[in-house]
Amino acid sequence: MKAVEAIVEILKREGVECLIGYPVNHILEYAARWDIRPVIVRQERIGLHMADAMSRLSSGKNVGVFAMQHGPGAENAYGGVAQAFGEGVPILVLPMGYARRLAHIRPNFNSTEAMAQVAKTTEPVTHADEVPNILRRAFTQLRNGRGGPCVVEVPTDVMNEEMTGELDYTPVLSTRYGPDPLDVVRAAEMLVAAKNPVIYAGGGVHYAEAWPQLKQLAELLAIPVCTSLGGKSSFPEDHPLSLGSGGLAFPKAVHQFLHNADVIFGVGCSFTETSFGIAMPKGKSFIQATLDPIDLNKDVEVEVGLLGDAALSLDALIAAVEDLVEGPRDNEPVAKEIAAVHEAWLAEWMPKLTSTQNPMTPYRVLWDLQNTVDKDNTIITHDAGSPRDQLSPFWRATKPLSYIGWGKTTQLGYGLGLAMGAKLVRPDALCINVWGDAAIGFTGMDFETAVRERIPILSILLNNFSMAIELKIMEVSTEKYRSTDISGNYADMAKAFGGYGERVTDPAEIIPAIQRGIAQTEAGVPALLEFITSQEVEISKY
């Protein structure tokens, strides 16, 4: 058996059904021979974004895989690997490498060395016989502990090298570990005694599939819940105890309850300090339940740490709390307070959310979108900048993994690949990415990939012909040189690629256009709806 055949056979045994990539990488051709579908993208970064979503939508159980050419292909892929690393997403990355005799000669790009700072592990295949050992190590890291990309570089001269024996490979194990029982008791006592506790849920709740436990703990102690962008949809946002989610922008209830809290319990979160996340208030008592000890006490000083899988931590914490209380607490007082804050905040924003002005506000587009789709069967993601900040505070996610949130690192164009990857995993769902006219400039060509590969997503494009979020900090360059101006007819681009494209300029046509776009996706055609909007710079931030 050749090394490349062994690699593909191992992918098959590990349950890989789809391989995203860009040629030349011989793994792609052999994958097709083994009935693993190769999906070919227009540029490498978007393919990594697709593999990223595939891992997320399966809670890391079915790992997304991406393969690319050595040299320039691997160089182009670096940004996508870095994005997955920042978001803690497990992806198997399979770059070809230069022949072994050239692998360490400058200026040849060596993925093993170059990607080491943005990957969980990197390792080259030095001999065909080592393929099973190397991929066993990679898959073990992908299925255990905190997520992140694992890079296995396959030199060109190893691909066709013959193994000396039979392939001996068994799919890897997946393990979980839980917190110290003494720490669990301390955390339970703090939460029970707290006057104004708040739960802050992160993406680790998704990977542990700890959604029922999160809801059970919140209802047991009548604790309000907010989420990070990565954790959005881990707690139903139509629940009376939901505060909503937060990135750079967030609902008023998130700010008010966090700042009034005496104890903040972070579960499945790193509490990473970022310009695109919630800034934790000072002077609070923190409990942190996190999988990776490297995240413990990193950016927030915690009093109690619970190391381990979020589901195991919550199971243990619930049991300890039940030993301390007679029964579930009354949710009604805190639920009424949350509802009052939320209603007042929403009333402030309703003029923008329902505005009839022309050009239309992006808030009106997203409000109508939310009230048109079947949210229980929708997976939506934002893009960096304005689309993220205009969507995330107002979109109320009701089902786990129905919202792909991100924001520790914010590459423009990320949302398109996420939506396409989500559609590969959930072909029955309406998969939406919300773009800005800056983001489409980075990855717009890969809308053609959606058409060619028969991935019928719905792209919502907010086009205001400007980098509006930069207007305040580029006033002179905009006035003198129009540096923040951008333009294009992107609906026509979608049509040219063979998809459905529609430009919408009348607010009264928002809902009918969305309905037409959904109908196209149901017929198997990717749709791009381009809404001409006003230049909004205001976001929900307190």
The average pLDDT across 123-128 equals: 97
Per the CB < 8 A criterion, the answer to whether 513 and 459 are in contact is no
pLDDT above 80 (res 469): no
334 — pLDDT class (breaks 50, 70, 90): very high
What pLDDT is recorded for position 276? 87
What's 86's domain CATH number?
A: 3.40.50.970
Residues 210, 323, single domain; the answer is yes
pLDDT > 90: percent of the chain: 91
Q: Per the domain annotation, does 91 fall within a domain?
A: yes
In sequence order, what DSSP letters do the residues of 457-504 get, joined into one string? -EEEEEE-SB-GGGGGG-HHHHHHH-TTB----HHHHHHHTTSEEEEE
406 — pLDDT class (breaks 50, 70, 90): very high
Q: Per the domain annotation, does 339 fall within a domain?
A: no
Task: Please report, for residues 410, 440, 444, 462, 513, the alpha-carbon distance to residue 447 in angstroms, rounded to integers and kept in the order given.
Answer: 20, 9, 6, 16, 19
The C-alpha atoms of residue 534 and residue 329 are separated, in whole angstroms, by 46
pLDDT above 90 (res 408): no
Residues 358, 318, single domain; the answer is no
What pLDDT is recorded for position 541? 80
What pLDDT is recorded for position 486? 83
The total of structural domains in the chain comes to 3
The average pLDDT across 519-526 equals: 98
Residues 239, 360, single domain; the answer is no
* 3-class secondary-structure state, position 197: strand
Residues 122, 223, single domain; the answer is no
Q: Per the domain annotation, does 387 fall within a domain?
A: yes
The C-alpha atoms of residue 530 and residue 537 are separated, in whole angstroms, by 19
The C-alpha atoms of residue 235 and residue 223 are separated, in whole angstroms, by 12
* 3-class secondary-structure state, position 342: helix
Residues 104, 196, single domain; the answer is no
Write the burial class of residue 158 (CB in 10 Å: 0-12 exposed, 13-18 middle, 19+ buried). Answer: buried
Here the contacts of 30-39 (C-beta below 8 Å, separation 24 or greater) are: 30/4, 30/5, 31/67, 33/8, 34/8, 34/9, 36/8, 36/11, 36/12, 39/424, 39/449, 39/453, 39/455
Residues 83, 197, single domain; the answer is no
Q: Per the domain annotation, does 30 fall within a domain?
A: yes
What pLDDT is recorded for position 410? 84
Integer-rounded Cα radius of gyration of the chain: 24
What's 238's domain CATH number?
A: 3.40.50.1220
Average pLDDT score over the chain: 96
pLDDT tens for residues 46-80?
999 999 999 999 988 999 999 999 999 999 999 99
Q: Per the domain annotation, does 161 fall within a domain?
A: no
For the ranges 113-117, 192-196, 333-337, 407-411, which has the lowest average pLDDT?
407-411
295 — pLDDT class (breaks 50, 70, 90): very high
For the ranges 247-256, 387-396, 479-488, which has the lowest average pLDDT?
479-488
167 — pLDDT class (breaks 50, 70, 90): very high
Residues 120, 188, single domain; the answer is no
Residues 488, 381, single domain; the answer is yes
pLDDT above 90 (res 537): no
What pLDDT is recorded for position 412? 93
Residues 376, 520, single domain; the answer is yes
Q: Per the domain annotation, does 342 fall within a domain?
A: no
Residues 47, 112, single domain; the answer is yes
- Angle, helix 414-425 to helix 44-57, in steps of 10 degrees: 50
The residues, ordered by sequence, that sit 6+ positions from 359 with a Cβ below 8 Å of its Cβ are: 464, 505, 532, 533, 534
Per-residue b/e over 317-340, b at no fewer than 16 CB within 10 Å? bbebbeeeeeeeeebeebbeebee
Q: Which domain holds residue 521?
A: 354-532
The average pLDDT across 481-497 equals: 91
For the ranges 287-291, 302-306, 471-475, which has the lowest average pLDDT?
471-475
Domain boundary, last residue among 296, 331, 366: 331
What pLDDT is recorded for position 468? 77
pLDDT above 90 (res 465): no
Q: Per the domain annotation, does 239 fall within a domain?
A: yes
The average pLDDT across 183-201 equals: 98
